[in-house]
Structure 1
């Protein structure tokens, strides 16, 4: 089955940054623990200083690694991901910061490793490309991500999304059949449908605070799939699904929301 075929089903639950309520986010452990708890996985992707596609949500390393405790990286604050080479990133622990995981270290997760895992387990994955346009040209970022997808032969199992919509345009110019989703937060454009059409996206991922039934209906009737982030309350999930939302992103895979996962 192709990812788009899955997304056209109803009441889908995506593991937001993996199973991040029970494992350190955006790590291999978070992917492993999401199995059987979701319909697909969502991760975040950026680039190391030397262009390796790494799985990280933040622009900096301080929240989710032990970088500030390491003497060899003293004086490197604010610890921006893009200022560290791949070899330097390999020296960090991505897990012991997590309360439930405090005694267990986690290695760096790269997009290559994530895709290998998804492929091996017959899963689907939404890769959100973080906006790193202040550090790298758009084409460099998109080319690096697409190369990993093509090398893994995962074109039919990946959805690419981003708040930086230029990445989505660039993606379509290279791989027009690769599904993409435009991410939005807050207010919407008056010409939203025309804008999405120009982007050639298949989906629109909205923040929970700005979703209403009218907007969901408009998008669905125009042929766009609709996802909503981040939804951890089962009652709210039900409301959104009743509106016609196709899928939600959730941190709560260990609680009652997992009943929605197929």
Structure 2
């Protein structure tokens, strides 16, 4: 299994900030970031379409240039990082899970990530067409389709995209899903795990990736003597 720090380590520091990412990189195998494009087409790390919730600015990310965007405080006194900033931050032992939040941003994202070791990267999205585009642009990079709701056949859209993994929300995650995913050659990366009860459920399922807001907390749980007797 591998640990993914959700938006870096948003339980400890403001999400998607440099401090959250550095914290996540201490304990996670990958840090997850959300990407949107500025008005001038630069990929920046921002979950929401607007600046209002996570910065001291307001308005749409897509209506501001990078220079304008970087005037705002995203938390801990840091500006909103770009995708390139995060790539430059990476430690050798920590990879990046990049979530594409907007259709049409695939080329801008892939033009940056193409410079890096594909084994240290995942690209994921809720949008099947975004994953299909990524597979054309960066065929060696692992991809995943995010699922947040129940559906009759959660694997049909994943197989359609050619993705390598399915990413179910914890409330839709089941042992049967893991079994079937592995039968079809897919990895399972489940989100977002923040309690010992959730950890234990996933530990016993054989899921491949665990997404958490507190990667150091999850790492400590995995490494605890009580868990050493469990095959994780």
Q: Shift in Å at residue 257 of structure 1? A: 5.2
Aligned-partner Cα distance in 1 for 2:66–2:109:
15
Aligned residue among 85, 88, 95 for 1:113: 85
Kindly indicate whether the alpha-carbon contact (under 8 Å) linking 1:13 and 1:258 is maintained by their aligned counterparts in 2. no
Structure 1: state its 5+ residue gaps. Answer: 1-9, 69-78, 96-103
**1:13-162 paired onto structure 2 within 5 Å:** 13-68=3-58, 79-95=59-75, 104-118=76-90, 120-130=91-101, 132-133=102-103, 138=104, 141-150=105-114, 152-162=115-125
Kindly indicate whether the alpha-carbon contact (under 8 Å) linking 1:21 and 1:254 is maintained by their aligned counterparts in 2. no
Question: TM-score under structure 1 normalisation?
Answer: 0.80
Aligned residue among 130, 133, 137 for 1:170: 133
Q: Shift in Å at residue 62 of structure 1? A: 0.5
Q: Shift in Å at residue 254 of structure 1? A: 4.8
Kindly indicate whether the alpha-carbon contact (under 8 Å) linking 1:232 and 1:257 is maintained by their aligned counterparts in 2. no
Kindly indicate whether the alpha-carbon contact (under 8 Å) linking 1:234 and 1:257 is maintained by their aligned counterparts in 2. no
Aligned-partner Cα distance in 2 for 1:174–1:162:
15
Check 1:239–1:149 CA distance in 2 against 1; reply closer, same or farther (3 A cut).
Answer: same
Q: Deviations over 1:155-181 (max 9, x none)?
A: 231100000111110111122111100
Kindly indicate whether the alpha-carbon contact (under 8 Å) linking 1:162 and 1:181 is maintained by their aligned counterparts in 2. yes
Check 1:48–1:33 CA distance in 2 against 1; reply closer, same or farther (3 A cut).
Answer: same
Q: Deviations over 1:18-73 (max 9, x none)?
A: 011111110111111123322211111110011000000111101111115xxxxx
Kindly indicate whether the alpha-carbon contact (under 8 Å) linking 2:32 and 2:97 is maintained by their aligned counterparts in 1. yes
Check 1:38–1:260 CA distance in 2 against 1; reply closer, same or farther (3 A cut).
Answer: farther
Q: Deviations over 1:222-247 (max 9, x none)?
A: 11100111110122111112112111
Structure 2: state its 5+ residue gaps. Answer: 224-231
Give the secondary structure class of the aligned counterpart of 1:249. Answer: strand
2:171 counterpart residue number: 209
Q: Shift in Å at residue 205 of structure 1? A: 0.4
1:71 counterpart residue number: none
Q: Which has the higher contact order (CA 8 A, sep 6+)?
A: 1
Cα RMSD of the aligned pairs, angstroms, is 1.8
Kindly indicate whether the alpha-carbon contact (under 8 Å) linking 1:180 and 1:202 is maintained by their aligned counterparts in 2. yes
Give the secondary structure class of the aligned counterpart of 2:24. Answer: coil
